[in-house]
Protein backbone atom coordinates (compact mmCIF):
# COMPACT_ATOMS: atom_id res chain seq x y z
CA UNK A 1 0.00 0.00 0.00
CA UNK A 2 1.29 3.41 -0.97
CA UNK A 3 -1.32 5.83 0.30
CA UNK A 4 -3.75 5.73 3.19
CA UNK A 5 -5.99 8.79 3.30
CA UNK A 6 -8.91 10.11 5.23
CA UNK A 7 -10.37 13.39 4.07
CA UNK A 8 -13.68 15.13 4.53
CA UNK A 9 -13.75 18.90 4.07
CA UNK A 10 -14.24 20.82 7.35
CA UNK A 11 -13.91 17.68 9.49
CA UNK A 12 -10.62 15.90 9.06
CA UNK A 13 -7.81 15.37 6.56
CA UNK A 14 -4.69 13.24 6.79
CA UNK A 15 -2.59 11.65 4.07
CA UNK A 16 -0.12 8.88 4.88
CA UNK A 17 2.53 8.23 2.24
CA UNK A 18 3.77 4.85 3.37
CA UNK A 19 6.98 4.38 1.33
CA UNK A 20 8.56 7.30 3.20
CA UNK A 21 6.51 7.06 6.43
CA UNK A 22 5.45 10.63 5.93
CA UNK A 23 2.20 12.15 7.04
CA UNK A 24 0.71 15.21 5.37
CA UNK A 25 -1.70 16.89 7.79
CA UNK A 26 -3.08 15.33 10.94
CA UNK A 27 -6.85 15.62 11.13
CA UNK A 28 -8.76 14.06 14.01
CA UNK A 29 -9.24 10.32 14.19
CA UNK A 30 -5.86 9.43 12.73
CA UNK A 31 -4.45 7.63 15.78
CA UNK A 32 -7.57 5.46 16.06
CA UNK A 33 -7.23 4.35 12.46
CA UNK A 34 -3.46 3.87 12.42
CA UNK A 35 -3.12 2.20 15.83
CA UNK A 36 0.44 1.01 16.32
CA UNK A 37 1.42 2.37 12.92
CA UNK A 38 1.73 5.82 14.53
CA UNK A 39 5.24 4.70 15.46
CA UNK A 40 6.10 4.22 11.83
CA UNK A 41 5.71 7.94 11.09
CA UNK A 42 9.01 9.78 10.81
CA UNK A 43 7.92 13.10 9.40
CA UNK A 44 4.78 15.19 9.56
CA UNK A 45 4.20 18.01 7.08
CA UNK A 46 1.41 20.43 7.97
CA UNK A 47 -0.13 22.42 5.10
CA UNK A 48 -1.79 25.10 7.25
CA UNK A 49 -3.33 25.70 10.66
CA UNK A 50 -7.03 25.04 10.10
CA UNK A 51 -8.44 22.71 12.69
CA UNK A 52 -9.52 19.95 10.26
CA UNK A 53 -5.82 19.53 9.32
CA UNK A 54 -4.13 19.66 12.74
CA UNK A 55 -6.63 18.51 15.38
CA UNK A 56 -5.26 14.96 15.50
CA UNK A 57 -1.69 16.04 16.25
CA UNK A 58 -2.06 16.25 20.02
CA UNK A 59 -3.52 12.75 20.10
CA UNK A 60 -0.84 11.33 17.85
CA UNK A 61 1.99 12.82 19.90
CA UNK A 62 0.42 11.39 23.08
CA UNK A 63 -0.29 7.98 21.62
CA UNK A 64 3.34 7.67 20.59
CA UNK A 65 4.31 8.53 24.15
CA UNK A 66 2.18 5.99 25.94
CA UNK A 67 1.30 3.08 23.66
CA UNK A 68 3.53 0.08 23.06
CA UNK A 69 6.11 0.71 20.38
CA UNK A 70 9.59 1.87 19.62
CA UNK A 71 10.08 5.08 21.59
CA UNK A 72 13.55 5.70 20.25
CA UNK A 73 12.26 6.82 16.89
CA UNK A 74 12.22 10.56 16.56
CA UNK A 75 9.36 12.55 15.10
CA UNK A 76 9.94 15.66 13.02
CA UNK A 77 7.12 18.15 12.56
CA UNK A 78 7.49 20.39 9.52
CA UNK A 79 5.16 23.35 9.13
CA UNK A 80 4.86 26.74 7.41
CA UNK A 81 7.19 29.15 9.19
CA UNK A 82 5.27 32.03 10.79
CA UNK A 83 1.91 30.22 10.87
CA UNK A 84 0.56 31.57 14.17
CA UNK A 85 -2.19 28.97 14.69
CA UNK A 86 0.26 26.09 14.31
CA UNK A 87 2.87 27.75 16.52
CA UNK A 88 0.30 28.36 19.28
CA UNK A 89 -0.98 24.79 19.03
CA UNK A 90 2.54 23.34 19.20
CA UNK A 91 3.27 25.50 22.27
CA UNK A 92 0.14 24.12 23.91
CA UNK A 93 0.98 20.51 23.05
CA UNK A 94 4.53 20.84 24.36
CA UNK A 95 3.22 22.52 27.54
CA UNK A 96 0.82 19.64 28.10
CA UNK A 97 3.48 16.98 27.42
CA UNK A 98 6.59 18.14 29.27
CA UNK A 99 8.04 14.63 29.48
CA UNK A 100 8.05 13.24 25.98
CA UNK A 101 9.88 9.92 25.81
CA UNK A 102 11.06 10.41 22.28
CA UNK A 103 12.79 13.16 20.40
CA UNK A 104 10.39 15.58 18.74
CA UNK A 105 11.88 18.09 16.33
CA UNK A 106 10.04 21.19 15.22
CA UNK A 107 11.08 22.34 11.78
CA UNK A 108 9.52 25.60 10.50
CA UNK A 109 9.79 25.72 6.71
CA UNK A 110 10.14 28.45 4.13
CA UNK A 111 9.18 28.09 0.49
CA UNK A 112 11.86 26.19 -1.42
CA UNK A 113 13.42 24.50 1.64
CA UNK A 114 14.44 20.89 1.12
CA UNK A 115 13.67 18.31 3.77
CA UNK A 116 15.52 15.05 3.11
CA UNK A 117 13.55 11.93 3.91
CA UNK A 118 15.95 9.08 3.42
CA UNK A 119 19.23 8.60 1.69
CA UNK A 120 20.34 5.12 0.81
CA UNK A 121 23.28 5.11 -1.55
CA UNK A 122 22.29 7.09 -4.60
CA UNK A 123 18.61 6.97 -3.62
CA UNK A 124 17.57 10.41 -2.47
CA UNK A 125 14.15 11.90 -1.89
CA UNK A 126 13.17 15.22 -0.42
CA UNK A 127 10.09 17.31 0.27
CA UNK A 128 9.81 20.95 -0.78
CA UNK A 129 7.00 23.34 0.20
CA UNK A 130 5.37 25.80 -2.17
CA UNK A 131 2.91 28.57 -1.40
CA UNK A 132 -0.79 28.13 -2.17
CA UNK A 133 -3.82 30.44 -2.14
CA UNK A 134 -6.18 29.67 0.72
CA UNK A 135 -7.85 31.97 3.27
CA UNK A 136 -6.49 35.48 3.82
CA UNK A 137 -3.86 35.69 6.55
CA UNK A 138 -3.33 31.92 6.73
CA UNK A 139 0.15 30.93 5.53
CA UNK A 140 -0.63 27.79 3.53
CA UNK A 141 1.65 25.36 1.73
CA UNK A 142 1.43 22.53 -0.72
CA UNK A 143 4.27 20.01 -0.92
CA UNK A 144 6.24 18.26 -3.63
CA UNK A 145 8.10 15.00 -3.01
CA UNK A 146 11.13 14.82 -5.29
CA UNK A 147 13.29 11.87 -6.21
CA UNK A 148 16.78 12.20 -7.64
CA UNK A 149 17.08 10.11 -10.79
CA UNK A 150 19.76 9.56 -13.38
CA UNK A 151 19.38 9.53 -17.13
CA UNK A 152 21.78 8.88 -19.97
CA UNK A 153 23.57 12.00 -21.18
CA UNK A 154 22.30 13.16 -24.56
CA UNK A 155 25.64 12.50 -26.29
CA UNK A 156 25.34 8.79 -25.49
CA UNK A 157 21.69 8.63 -26.53
CA UNK A 158 22.24 7.08 -29.99
CA UNK A 159 24.84 4.49 -28.98
CA UNK A 160 24.04 0.77 -29.06
CA UNK A 161 23.84 -0.81 -25.62
CA UNK A 162 27.07 -2.79 -26.07
CA UNK A 163 29.06 0.41 -26.59
CA UNK A 164 27.36 2.10 -23.65
CA UNK A 165 28.32 -0.88 -21.49
CA UNK A 166 31.97 -0.53 -22.47
CA UNK A 167 31.95 3.23 -21.71
CA UNK A 168 30.44 2.47 -18.30
CA UNK A 169 33.22 -0.08 -17.70
CA UNK A 170 35.84 2.47 -18.62
CA UNK A 171 34.49 5.67 -17.02
CA UNK A 172 31.88 4.56 -14.51
CA UNK A 173 28.12 5.07 -14.54
CA UNK A 174 28.25 8.63 -13.18
CA UNK A 175 30.30 9.81 -16.15
CA UNK A 176 27.65 8.99 -18.71
CA UNK A 177 24.53 10.06 -16.80
CA UNK A 178 23.00 13.33 -15.62
CA UNK A 179 20.93 13.63 -12.47
CA UNK A 180 17.52 15.23 -12.55
CA UNK A 181 14.71 15.71 -10.05
CA UNK A 182 11.44 13.88 -10.64
CA UNK A 183 8.34 15.08 -8.83
CA UNK A 184 6.86 11.83 -7.61
CA UNK A 185 4.07 13.22 -5.43
CA UNK A 186 2.39 16.63 -5.13
CA UNK A 187 -0.03 17.46 -2.30
CA UNK A 188 -2.04 20.61 -2.99
CA UNK A 189 -3.12 21.48 0.55
CA UNK A 190 -6.27 23.59 0.85
CA UNK A 191 -6.17 25.93 -2.09
CA UNK A 192 -7.68 27.42 -5.14
CA UNK A 193 -6.81 25.21 -8.16
CA UNK A 194 -3.03 25.01 -8.68
CA UNK A 195 -1.58 26.33 -11.95
CA UNK A 196 -0.36 23.82 -14.60
CA UNK A 197 3.30 24.80 -14.13
CA UNK A 198 3.14 23.68 -10.49
CA UNK A 199 1.50 20.30 -11.08
CA UNK A 200 2.97 19.30 -14.46
CA UNK A 201 5.18 16.20 -14.44
CA UNK A 202 4.14 15.16 -10.97
CA UNK A 203 3.57 11.41 -11.18
CA UNK A 204 0.90 11.43 -8.47
CA UNK A 205 -1.10 14.58 -7.82
CA UNK A 206 -3.28 14.83 -4.75
CA UNK A 207 -5.47 17.84 -5.32
CA UNK A 208 -8.13 19.16 -3.00
CA UNK A 209 -11.57 19.24 -4.61
CA UNK A 210 -13.98 20.53 -2.00
CA UNK A 211 -16.74 21.25 -4.48
CA UNK A 212 -17.96 18.79 -7.08
CA UNK A 213 -20.54 21.38 -8.19
CA UNK A 214 -18.97 24.73 -9.04
CA UNK A 215 -21.90 26.87 -7.93
CA UNK A 216 -21.87 25.38 -4.41
CA UNK A 217 -18.76 27.42 -3.65
CA UNK A 218 -19.26 30.81 -1.98
CA UNK A 219 -15.66 31.99 -1.45
CA UNK A 220 -12.65 31.38 -3.60
CA UNK A 221 -10.69 29.58 -0.87
CA UNK A 222 -11.06 26.07 -2.23
CA UNK A 223 -11.07 24.24 -5.54
CA UNK A 224 -14.05 23.11 -7.52
CA UNK A 225 -13.97 20.23 -9.97
CA UNK A 226 -14.20 22.26 -13.19
CA UNK A 227 -11.03 24.19 -12.31
CA UNK A 228 -9.15 21.07 -11.29
CA UNK A 229 -10.09 19.35 -14.56
CA UNK A 230 -9.08 22.48 -16.48
CA UNK A 231 -5.63 22.72 -14.88
CA UNK A 232 -4.98 18.97 -15.23
CA UNK A 233 -5.93 19.13 -18.93
CA UNK A 234 -3.44 21.97 -19.43
CA UNK A 235 -0.69 19.99 -17.69
CA UNK A 236 1.32 16.97 -18.77
CA UNK A 237 2.98 14.02 -17.14
CA UNK A 238 0.42 13.45 -14.37
CA UNK A 239 -0.12 9.71 -14.11
CA UNK A 240 -2.50 9.64 -11.17
CA UNK A 241 -4.89 12.24 -9.82
CA UNK A 242 -6.30 11.69 -6.34
CA UNK A 243 -9.07 14.13 -5.44
CA UNK A 244 -9.48 14.67 -1.70
CA UNK A 245 -11.02 17.17 0.77
CA UNK A 246 -14.39 16.50 -0.86
CA UNK A 247 -17.38 18.03 0.92
CA UNK A 248 -19.64 15.62 2.80
CA UNK A 249 -22.65 16.94 0.85
CA UNK A 250 -21.59 14.72 -2.09
CA UNK A 251 -21.26 11.51 -0.06
CA UNK A 252 -24.10 9.66 -1.79
CA UNK A 253 -22.95 10.63 -5.28
CA UNK A 254 -19.22 9.85 -5.25
CA UNK A 255 -19.53 6.96 -7.74
CA UNK A 256 -21.50 9.10 -10.17
CA UNK A 257 -18.94 11.89 -9.96
CA UNK A 258 -16.06 9.49 -10.36
CA UNK A 259 -17.51 8.32 -13.70
CA UNK A 260 -18.13 11.88 -14.89
CA UNK A 261 -14.57 12.99 -14.04
CA UNK A 262 -13.06 9.86 -15.63
CA UNK A 263 -14.84 10.75 -18.87
CA UNK A 264 -13.70 14.38 -18.67
CA UNK A 265 -10.07 13.29 -18.37
CA UNK A 266 -10.21 10.59 -21.07
CA UNK A 267 -7.21 10.78 -23.37
CA UNK A 268 -5.03 12.74 -20.92
CA UNK A 269 -3.27 9.61 -19.63
CA UNK A 270 -4.27 10.53 -16.07
CA UNK A 271 -5.97 7.92 -13.92
CA UNK A 272 -8.38 9.49 -11.44
CA UNK A 273 -9.38 8.48 -7.89
CA UNK A 274 -11.79 10.11 -5.44
CA UNK A 275 -11.34 9.97 -1.68
CA UNK A 276 -14.79 9.17 -0.30
CA UNK A 277 -15.60 11.60 2.55
CA UNK A 278 -16.74 8.77 4.84
CA UNK A 279 -14.12 6.08 4.25
CA UNK A 280 -10.39 5.55 4.64
CA UNK A 281 -8.96 5.47 1.12
CA UNK A 282 -6.16 3.05 0.28
CA UNK A 283 -4.09 2.79 -2.88
ZN1 LIG B 1 -9.55 21.94 5.13
ZN1 LIG C 1 -8.24 25.20 5.33
Q: Residue 139 gets which letter from DSSP?
A: -
pLDDT tier, 121 (very low <50, low <70, confident <90, very high otherwise):
low
Q: Whole domain around residue 35: which residue ranges?
A: 3-282
pLDDT tier, 171 (very low <50, low <70, confident <90, very high otherwise):
confident
Average pLDDT over all residues of the chain: 93
Q: How many whole angstroms from 206 Cα to the centroid of ligand 1?
A: 14
For ligand 2, a single-atom ion, which residues have Cβ within 5 Å? 50, 190
3-state secondary structure of 68: coil
Lowest mean pLDDT among 31-35, 40-44, 120-124: 120-124
Question: Quick one: which ligand is closest to 25's CA?
Answer: 1
Q: How many whole angstroms from 191 Cα to the centroid of ligand 1?
A: 9
Cβ of 58: how many Cβ atoms within 10 Å? 18
**β-strand pairing of 22-26 with 43-45:** parallel
**β-strand pairing of 75-80 with 281-282:** unpaired
What total number of domains does the chain contain? 1
Question: Quick one: which ligand is closest to 83's CA?
Answer: 2
Q: How many whole angstroms from 154 Cα to the centroid of ligand 1?
A: 44
Quick one: CA dihedral 11, 77, 142, 243, positive or negative?
negative
pLDDT above 90 covers a percentage of the chain that reads 77
- pLDDT value at residue 118: 76
60 φ, ψ (degrees, to nearest 5): -65, -40
Q: How many whole angstroms from 105 Cα to the centroid of ligand 2?
A: 24
Q: How many whole angstroms from 190 Cα to the centroid of ligand 1?
A: 6
Q: What is the CATH number of the domain that holds 124?
A: 3.60.15.10
pLDDT digits (tens, 9 = 90+) for 200-257: 999 999 999 999 999 999 888 999 999 999 999 999 999 999 999 999 999 999 999 9
Query: Angle at Cα 42 formed by Cα 29 and Cα 203, nearest 5°?
Result: 85
- Do the beta carbons of residue 43 and residue 21 sit within 8 Å? yes
Smallest Cα–Cα separation from 207: which of 20, 13, 27? 13
3-state secondary structure of 256: helix
231 φ, ψ (degrees, to nearest 5): -70, -35
Q: Which strand (E) or helix (H) includes residue 178?
A: strand 177-187
Cβ of 213: how many Cβ atoms within 10 Å? 14
Q: How many whole angstroms from 134 Cα to the centroid of ligand 2?
A: 7
Q: How many whole angstroms from 10 Cα to the centroid of ligand 2?
A: 8
- Sheet of 43-45: strands edge to edge? 104-109, 75-80, 43-45, 22-26, 12-17, 3-8, 281-282
Amino acid sequence: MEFQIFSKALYSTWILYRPERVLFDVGEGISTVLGNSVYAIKDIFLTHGHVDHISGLWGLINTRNTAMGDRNKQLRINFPSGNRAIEAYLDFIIGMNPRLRYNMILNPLNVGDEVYLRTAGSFRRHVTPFKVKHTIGEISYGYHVYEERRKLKDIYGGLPSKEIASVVKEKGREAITDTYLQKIVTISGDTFALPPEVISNSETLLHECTFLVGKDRRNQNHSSIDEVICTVRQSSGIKRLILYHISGRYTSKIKKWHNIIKKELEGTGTEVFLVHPEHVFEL
